[in-house]
Amino acid sequence: MVRALVVYCHPCEESFVAVVRECVVTALADAGHTVDLVDLYADGFDPRLSAQEHTDHRADPSTKPAALVYADRLRQCEMIVLVYPTWWGGQPAMLKGWLERTWVNGVSSQLPAGGGPPKALLHNVRRIVAVTTHGSSKWINAVEGEGGKRTVTRAMRASCGWRCRTRWLAMYGVDASTPAQRQQFLDQISRQLRRAR
């Protein structure tokens, strides 16, 4: 069994994404995993990167209050599950801001003093799962390049080491979906997460 950090991002509790979050948490708990839920809106997380944070991007994470709140939780989990809607081809601003303000030098990776590629630090994370919805079709998202998918499967994964695996669980065309199609997606989430290790 693993420690799963579930990062949820949606402003409306009556949304389908809120139902997806409950499905994710239930499936993980039923599989015996420990679940640590982060609700960015409930936390009142501020996604804005300040000028000082940008200037101090190489500084120790102890100087970055947003990073301190989540750093230990990132270091202790073995699985990260992101639950969010895809807006404008990527993660919502709140989630993107969370990545920019918490996956910082000294937490997710170490920037070498003389330059060069960053060294991954989150070797504890063995799996990243994105569970997301898209209003548009898979074809339209493919044409747009699926920037949000690349953020998860490439950029985030690079901070977790080469053994980390990723899973992309997406419902395309959710705006025109039927209740049966939405239930099918929830069933898929449950099956996938109950097997995840």
Task: For residue 186, tell me if it sits in a domain.
Answer: yes
Quick one: which of 15, 9, 20 has its CA closest to 47? 9
Cα 40 off chain centre by: 11
Task: For residue 168, tell me if it sits in a domain.
Answer: yes
Task: For residue 148, tell me if it sits in a domain.
Answer: yes
pTM of the complete model? 0.94
For the four alpha carbons of 175, 178, 179 and 180, in that order, the dihedral sign comes to: negative
Q: Which of 52-56, 95-99, 152-156, 190-194 has the lowest mean pLDDT?
A: 52-56
Number of domains in the chain: 1
Task: For residue 6, tell me if it sits in a domain.
Answer: no
Task: For residue 1, tell me if it sits in a domain.
Answer: no
The CATH number linked to 110 is: 3.40.50.360
Task: For residue 114, tell me if it sits in a domain.
Answer: yes
- What range defines the domain where residue 164 resides? 30-195
Task: For residue 23, tell me if it sits in a domain.
Answer: no
Task: For residue 25, tell me if it sits in a domain.
Answer: no
Tell me what pLDDT residue 53 has. 87
pLDDT in tens, 167-194: 999 999 999 999 999 999 999 999 999 9
